[in-house]
Chain A
Amino acid sequence: MAAEDRRDPVLDVQERDGALSLSGELTVWTVSQLPRREWQRIELQGISRLDTAGALYLADRRGEGAQVDGLTEVQGQLLDAVASSIPKPDPAPDAAPLWRRVLETVGQQVMSGLRYFHELAEYLGRFLAALGRSFRHPSEFRLTSLVHHCQETGLRAIPIVTAMSFLIGVVLAFQGASQLRQFGAEVFVVDLIAIAVLRELGILLTAIVVAGRTASALTASIGSMKMREEIDAMRTLGIDVDMVLILPRVLALVITLPILGLVSDVAGLFGGAVMSWIELGISPSMFLTRLAEINVNHVIVGLVKAPVFAVIIGVVGCQAGMKVGKDAESLGAMTSSAVVSAIFAVIIADALFSVFFAQVNI
Chain B
Amino acid sequence: MSGENVIEVRGLRTQFGSHVVHDGLDLDLRRGEILGVVGGSGTGKSVLLRTIVGLIRPPVGEIRVFGQDVNRLSGAARRAIERRWGVMFQDGALFSALTVRENVEVPLKAVPGLSDEDRARLAELKVSMAGLPWKANADYPADLSGGMRKRAGLARALALDPEIVFLDEPTAGLDPIGADAFDRLIVQLRDAMNLSVFLVTHDLDTLHVCCDRIAVLAEKKVLTTGTMAQMLKVDHAWVHEYFHGPRARAAMTSGRGEG
Given contacts A6-B80, A33-B113, A81-B192, 14 further A-B contacts (CB under 8 A): A3-B66, A3-B81, A27-B161, A32-B111, A51-B161, A52-B126, A52-B161, A82-B125, A85-B125, A87-B127, A87-B128, A90-B134, A327-B141, A329-B97
- Residues in A92-129 with C-beta less than 8 Å from chain B: none
Q: Is the CB of B135 within 8 A of A328?
A: no
* Neighbouring A residues of B118 by C-beta, 8 Å: 31-32
Interface check A16, CB cutoff 8 A:
no
For A6, A52, A78, A81, the residue with the greatest tally of chain B CB atoms inside 10 Å of its CB is: A52
Q: Is the CB of A32 within 8 A of B113?
A: yes
- What are the 9 A-B residue pairs with the smallest beta carbon separation, nearest first? A51-B161, A81-B192, A87-B128, A327-B142, A32-B113, A3-B80, A85-B128, A85-B129, A87-B124
Interchain CB contact (< 8 A) of A28 among B66, B80, B160: B160
Closest to A6 in B: B80
* Neighbouring A residues of B135 by C-beta, 8 Å: 90
Q: Is the CB of A87 within 8 A of B134?
A: yes
Between A and B, how many residue pairs show CB distances below 8 Å?
82
Interface check B50, CB cutoff 8 A:
no
Please count how many residues in chain A sit with their CB below 8 Å of the partner chain's CB atoms: 32
Interface check B193, CB cutoff 8 A:
yes
CA A355 to CA B153, docked complex, whole Å: 58
B86-112 contact mask (Cβ, 8 Å, vs A): 1 or 0: 000000000011000000000010010
Min CB distance, B154 to chain A, in Å? 13
Closest to A80 in B: B192
Q: Is the CB of A3 within 8 A of B141?
A: no
Q: Is the CB of B108 within 8 A of A28?
A: yes
Min CB distance, A48 to chain B, in Å? 13
5 contacts between A and B (CB under 8 A): A28-B161, A51-B161, A51-B193, A52-B158, A87-B137
Closest to A7 in B: B80
Interface check B10, CB cutoff 8 A:
no
- Residues in B216-233 with C-beta less than 8 Å from chain A: none
Min CB distance, B147 to chain A, in Å? 15
* Neighbouring A residues of B68 by C-beta, 8 Å: 3
Closest to B135 in A: A90
- Residues in B133-174 with C-beta less than 8 Å from chain A: 134-135, 137, 141-142, 158, 160-161
Interface check B121, CB cutoff 8 A:
yes
* Neighbouring A residues of B124 by C-beta, 8 Å: 87
Q: Is the CB of B161 within 8 A of A89?
A: no
CA A327 to CA B68, docked complex, whole Å: 39
Q: Is the CB of B194 within 8 A of A52?
A: no
Interface check A56, CB cutoff 8 A:
yes
Closest to B67 in A: A2
CA A328 to CA B114, docked complex, whole Å: 33
Interface check B191, CB cutoff 8 A:
yes
